[in-house]
Structure 1
C-alpha cells in the first residue's frame, strides 16, 4: 500500500481546502502548480542591466524591455494593455517585455487615476508617442554607428536594419541611444500595421495571481510593521463619547490602543489580534445627528419628486406644452437602494511616517489626490510623500476615496510606527462609501403615435447626476426634452459606484422605452433606431453620444442575439446605452423556473473603438454584464437608525456562480481611438433583464432588486 502523498497549499488553495479541518475531502488541487512545480522565467529580467529612456521604458543590453504601467491596476487590465500600446510603437516582441507597476509620479505621468474607464482613452496618444519616440532614438543611435542617414533605417521586433541589410539589436545600441536628444516629431503606425494591439495577451500578473505571490495591498509586509484594526462609529450620525480599552490590551499580540477623532485604533503583531482587540473595546457612542432609516430616505426622495423645486440640467423645446397637447402621457417612477462595493480584497493601506519622508503603499485608485490629502493631514509637503501602488482586488469606485490611507497615515504618526490598516468584511460593508439610493420619475407624451415630449426627474441621496448625463441618449432624439434633479443631504457617506450615475439610470430609461414601445405598438429595437435618426446629423455640440455608432451597435446586438427569434419558453429583452464614451447594446434571454426568472444568456455588442487586448476587453464586458445583472436582481442595502442592515455576505445577497448566464461579446470593428470599457457593459444589463422579465411574466419592474419585488404579493407599480 502506498504511503499517503503530501501536498503543500498556497493561500489561493485555501478556499478549496479549508474544509479538511472538519473532516471533509479536498477537491481542488492547484493543477498548474502540480504539473509545473519548478517553472522559472527563461531570463531573470530583475538581474539584467537596464538603461532608462524615460519614466515608461527601460531596455537592457540583452534586448529585454521593461515597460512601466503608470495607472493603478484595479482589474480593468491596464497593467497589460497600456504597455501593449507602448510595445506596439516601440516595435519589440511582446515576449521580451517585462511589465512593472509604476509608482506615483505627477511629474512624469499624467492622470494616474483608475476611474471613469478613461485610462486607455486618455493614454492612447501619449503612450503611442512614448513608444515611437524611443524606437526613433534607437534607430538614430544605430544610424550613427553605421554612419548612415537614419531615414534609411527601419526597426521591427527589436532589430534595426539599414539599406544594406545590416542589423543591430536594440541591446546593441541601447547605451548610445539613451544619451541622444529626444526627437520631436515621430511617425506613428497605422492600425493596419499593428502586430501587438488587437492581439490577445495574457494578463501580465496572471502567474502571481494564481500562485499567490505578493501582489496586492494585503500582501505587503515591512519590517517592524504593526497591523491596525479601527473601531469606528457603529451608526452614521454617532460620535465617540468614551471608551475602555482594558480588555483589548490583554489580547496577546496587541501592542497599543490609540484614539484619533471619533475612532480607536488597535495595533497588534497580526490582523487576528488587532481585530480581536478591537472587539474587546467597550465604547459609548452618542448621537449628534439624526439616525436615518430607509423609510426616511424613501419619504424624502418621494417628497423631492412631488415638489416643483429641482435644478434643470437641460431643456429643449417646451415639455409642458407637449404634455398638454398629447393624446396620452405615460409616467413611471423607478426606485433603487443603496449598494456597497463589496471588493474581494477589503480596504487596507500601509503607512510609515518619519521625519525624513512619508512612505505609503497600497491599493488606491487616486494616488495624486491621496498624496495631497495625506500631505494636508500631516502638514507635510507633497514631495515628501512616496506612494507605491499595489494591484487592487477590486475597487468599483470605493478605492477612489483614500479614507483608509488617511487612517493609516494618522495612526503611523501618532504611534511612531510603520502600520497597515486592515478592514474586516464587516468594516468594509458597514463603514463604506455607498452607491446612493435614487428615485427617477420619467414622463413622456405621445401624440399621433409619436413620442413628442420627455421629462426625466431625479431625486438622489446626496446628489447623483452631473453635467454630462442630460446630454446622453435620448437627448436630441425627442423635440421637447427636459432633465431636472434634486437631492436630499444625508450623513450616510455616498460616492461613485461602478458606472456612476448610469448604473441605475440606464435600467430606468431603457425599461421606460420598452413600455413606450408597447404603448405605440412598435418593436422595441426599432423604436430606438427610429429615435436615433433625429440625432445622427445634429449640430448640438453638447450631445455626448453618436447616433450612428449607437445605431450600428444596436443592430449588431439584435443580429447576433437573434432578436425576435427566441425558442419557445425563452423570453428576450433589449437595452442600449452610452456611457464612459462607449456605446453598448445588450439582449438578455430569460426562462422561468419555479415561478421566478432565470437569466440564461446575454449577447452584448460594444463600440469602444480600437480594441487593444481582445481577451482583456471581453473579460471587462462579461464582468460588467454579470455585475449589472447581479445587483439588479439581488443587491439591496437598507438602514435602520443609521446602521446598515447587512454586515457580511451571510445576509447580503450577491449573484451566485450557478446564476451567472452565458455572456457573448461582439465588438464593432473600426479604427477609431479607444474609449472606456471597464464600466459601460454594466448599465444596459439591468434594463435588458427587466424587459425580458416583462415578456416572461407580464410584470414591469420599477424597483430593484427584481427578485425581492417579484416575491412580494403585490409589485410596486409606477
Structure 2
C-alpha cells in the first residue's frame, strides 16, 4: 500500500474528496499574477479540471498543499508550506505537504537546481494562503452576520472578538468551498509575519529519524529485479567483449545483458548481483585518448597561451592600461576534478511496458528523466510517469539522467520491473565530475595603487564558459578583458554545487587580496572602493546589486571585528551567485607552529529568510562543503582511470576539522533569493586568505593539503 508521500496529486484529491471534502483552491505556478480559485475536488480527481497546484483545508482542520519541487535536503518541502501557512494564519501543526510527481501540464519549473525554487514560487504561494484566509473570513462573517472587517484570524481559527465567537478552519471549510475567490487579495506586510523567519523543523525529520521509506533506495516493488552495472573502468574505453558464464551460473542471477557501453548483472538481490558482477571477464578497446592528471596539467599550460580564447567581456583599452601600469600582478590558480559524493548513491526504478513506462526514484530533473526515457523506448512522454522520492543529496549530480536511462534500458531488455543501484565505487568512478579548471589573472595598478586594468583567462575541461564575466569586479575596472578556452575531455563532467563559481570565487577573491596587498591597501577597503567606482562611474553594464554587496561586506567586517583581534589571522571573501550575496571572514590561529582554521563568519543577503533553522543549515553546510573540498578534495586520473574509488582514498573534511560557522542575515525585506548554493563559493577564498595572513604563503591550487602552506597538517 502506498504511503501519503507516494501518492500522486490525483490520488491525494480522491482521498481528500472521499474523506468529506472541504475547501480546495487551485493556484498557478506558472503565472504569479493569477489568483487562486475555488475548485471542486471531485472534478479534479476525475481529471476535469487542471490547476498547477492545490491547497486544501479539510473538515478535520488539516491544511495540505501539493509541492512540486524535488526535495534533496534544501528544505523546500518545509519552506513552501511555511509561506502558505503565514498568509493563512495557520496552525503549523495542522499543515502537511504532499510531494507532487512529474506533471508538466500543470507544474512549471519542476526542478531542483540553481537555488531558484523559493524565488520562483514566493508570490504564488503567498497569494494561495491569502486567498484561502480571505474566503474563510467571508464564510465566518456570513455565518455570524457581521462585517468581515470585524473578523480576525489566528492559528486555524476565525475570531469575532466583539462577540467572543470563533470557528475553526475545518468547521468553515464546506461553507468556504461554495464561495468565489476574489479578483484581488492583500498580502501581509513583512512586519506582520509570525511564522516566516522562525526556526521550524524539517517536515520529514520524524520520518527520516524513524526510518520511514522516503528515499529512492527505500523504494521496493514486489517482484522487481535488482541490477548492478559494470561500466568501462577508464574514460576513453569502449566495450569489446564480455564473458559472463560464471556470473550467470551463480545463485539468484536471472541474466547478464549488455547495452551501449555497459554490462548489467540482473538478479533477485543486491548482494547476489554484486558478487556475480565481480566475476565478469570484460575486454575493452580504446575509443579516445586515455587522459591522466599529468596530461591535464600539460593541456592547461598549452591552452593558457593559445590563441583560441573566446572573448566573454571587454571594456576599455586593456593593452594600453597594462603598458602604462606602474605595477602588474600575475597569478594562476588551478583546481582538480571532484565527484559529487552524495550520501545516497545513484539508483532508480523502471518498469518498461508496451503501453507505458513507470519511473520511480531520486531525480533533480524529473522531466529530463522522462524525456530521455521516451527517446530510448519510443514511448510517448504522456505515457511515462515519474514518481519523485526524497533524495539523499544531489549537489548537481542528479540533474543528469544517465542512471535513469540505465534502469530503463535494463527493464526494457529484461521485460520486467528493475531497480538499478550504484555502489559507492560506481558513484565515485562513474563520472559526472566537477570539471578541472585553471585561471590566469593579471592586474595593472597605477602609481597611486588604483586598479586600472584587469585580465582573466579561464581554461576548463568540458566546462563551456569557465568564467562569470559579469560578476564583480567587472563594472568596477575601466579596462577589463575576460576570455576562456575549452578542452574537450572524454572524462564526463557536469554541474557541481554552485557551478563554475565554486572555484572561480576562491581564485578571484584570493587574487584580489594579492592585488590589494600590492596596492598597499586593506583587502576590505580595496573591494569597497571598487564597488563605489562601479556605483558612481561604472565601466559597462553592472549586473549585480552594488548596494547589496556593500552591505554584506560591511556586516561581515563588523561581526568579525575585522583587523582588531590579537593573535587571529583573518581572511576575507565576498561573492554574488544565484541572486544572493555572501561575505565571509575566515579566522586562523597558529597552534604549536601550525595554522588552524577556527572560525568562519558569514554575512548573507538572501532577502527574506523563510525558515531560520533551515537557512542556517544551508549556509553552514555550504561553508563546510566549500572549505572541505578546497582543503582536501582531489580526484586524479591515470590513463583515464580514477585513482580514487571510495572514501578511503578520497579525502573529505572530518568532524574535528570543521570550524565554528557564525551566520548573520541581512534584513532588507526584499523577496527571497537563492540560498542552496551561494554560501559555498566565497568559503575557499576566505580560508585561503586567512592562511596567507598566518603563513605568508599563497594557496593557489586546490586541494590546499598539497600546498606548501599546509605541509605538516594531516
* Residue matched to 2:123: 125
- Tell me: CA distance 1:596–1:86, structure 2 relative to 1, closer, same or farther (3 Å): same
Q: Which runs of 5+ in 2 are unaligned?
A: 1-14, 27-52
- Tell me: CA distance 1:173–1:681, structure 2 relative to 1, closer, same or farther (3 Å): same
Provide the secondary structure at the position in 1 that maps to 2:80. Answer: helix
Hey, what's the Cα distance between the residues in 2 that align with 1:365 and 1:162?
46
Hey, what's the Cα distance between the residues in 2 that align with 1:615 and 1:541?
39
1:98 aligns with 2:70: no
Offset at 1:141? 4.0
Offset at 1:153? 4.8
Is this contact kept in 2: 1:49–1:60, CA < 8 A?
yes
Offset at 1:463? 2.6
Q: Which moved more, 1:135-144 or 1:498-507?
A: 135-144
- Tell me: CA distance 1:297–1:127, structure 2 relative to 1, closer, same or farther (3 Å): same
Q: Which runs of structure 2 are paired with 1:383-394 in the superposition (5 Å)?
A: 383-394=382-393
Provide the secondary structure at the position in 2 that maps to 1:532. Answer: helix
* Residue matched to 2:66: 68
Hey, what's the Cα distance between the residues in 2 that align with 1:116 and 1:476?
24
Is this contact kept in 2: 1:77–1:203, CA < 8 A?
yes
* Residue matched to 1:112: 110
* Residue matched to 1:628: 626
Provide the secondary structure at the position in 1 that maps to 2:314. Answer: strand
Offset at 1:605? 0.5
Task: Encode CA deviations 1:601-653: one digit per residue, 9 max, x unaligned.
Answer: 10101011100011100000000001111111111111111111100111111
Q: Which runs of structure 2 are paired with 1:669-688 in the superposition (5 Å)?
A: 669-688=667-686
- Tell me: CA distance 1:138–1:573, structure 2 relative to 1, closer, same or farther (3 Å): same
* Residue matched to 1:455: 455
* Residue matched to 2:25: 53
Offset at 1:169? 2.1
Task: Encode CA deviations 1:281-324: one digit per residue, 9 max, x unaligned.
Answer: 11111112111111222211221211232111111111111101
Is this contact kept in 2: 1:461–1:487, CA < 8 A?
yes
Aligned-residue RMSD, C-alpha: 2.2
Q: Which runs of 5+ in 1 are unaligned?
A: 1-43
Q: Which moved more, 1:191-200 or 1:299-308?
A: 299-308
- Tell me: CA distance 1:50–1:626, structure 2 relative to 1, closer, same or farther (3 Å): farther
Offset at 1:154? 4.5
Number of aligned positions between the proteins: 669
Offset at 1:119? 0.9
* Residue matched to 1:413: 412
1:210 aligns with 2:182: no
Is this contact kept in 1: 2:81–2:96, CA < 8 A?
no
1:251 aligns with 2:250: yes
1:280 aligns with 2:252: no
Structure 1 length-normalised TM: 0.89
Provide the secondary structure at the position in 2 that maps to 1:535. Answer: helix
Hey, what's the Cα distance between the residues in 1 that align with 2:275 and 2:69?
36
Provide the secondary structure at the position in 1 that maps to 2:135. Answer: helix
Hey, what's the Cα distance between the residues in 1 that align with 2:541 and 2:408?
42
- Tell me: CA distance 1:558–1:48, structure 2 relative to 1, closer, same or farther (3 Å): farther
- Tell me: CA distance 1:228–1:342, structure 2 relative to 1, closer, same or farther (3 Å): same
- Tell me: CA distance 1:140–1:470, structure 2 relative to 1, closer, same or farther (3 Å): same
Is this contact kept in 2: 1:236–1:291, CA < 8 A?
yes
Is this contact kept in 2: 1:444–1:454, CA < 8 A?
yes
Is this contact kept in 1: 2:698–2:709, CA < 8 A?
no
Is this contact kept in 1: 2:216–2:390, CA < 8 A?
yes
Hey, what's the Cα distance between the residues in 2 that align with 1:400 and 1:129?
30
Hey, what's the Cα distance between the residues in 2 that align with 1:541 and 1:105?
42
Offset at 1:71? 0.8
1:647 aligns with 2:619: no
Q: Which moved more, 1:132-141 or 1:114-123?
A: 132-141
- Tell me: CA distance 1:531–1:259, structure 2 relative to 1, closer, same or farther (3 Å): same
Hey, what's the Cα distance between the residues in 2 that align with 1:441 and 1:139?
62
Hey, what's the Cα distance between the residues in 1 that align with 2:151 and 2:336?
62
Offset at 1:57? 1.8
Offset at 1:556? 0.8
* Residue matched to 1:536: 535
- Tell me: CA distance 1:693–1:713, structure 2 relative to 1, closer, same or farther (3 Å): closer
Task: Encode CA deviations 1:647-683: one digit per residue, 9 max, x unaligned.
Answer: 0111111111111111000001110011111111111
- Tell me: CA distance 1:209–1:538, structure 2 relative to 1, closer, same or farther (3 Å): farther
* Residue matched to 1:168: 167
Offset at 1:267? 1.4
Task: Encode CA deviations 1:570-622: one digit per residue, 9 max, x unaligned.
Answer: 32111111111111111111133565432111010101110001110000000
Offset at 1:157? 2.5
Hey, what's the Cα distance between the residues in 1 that align with 2:539 and 2:363?
37
Hey, what's the Cα distance between the residues in 2 that align with 1:70 and 1:581?
22
Q: Which runs of structure 2 are paired with 1:294-305 in the superposition (5 Å)?
A: 294-305=293-304
Offset at 1:106? 1.8
Is this contact kept in 2: 1:536–1:546, CA < 8 A?
no
Is this contact kept in 1: 2:460–2:466, CA < 8 A?
no
* Residue matched to 2:560: 561
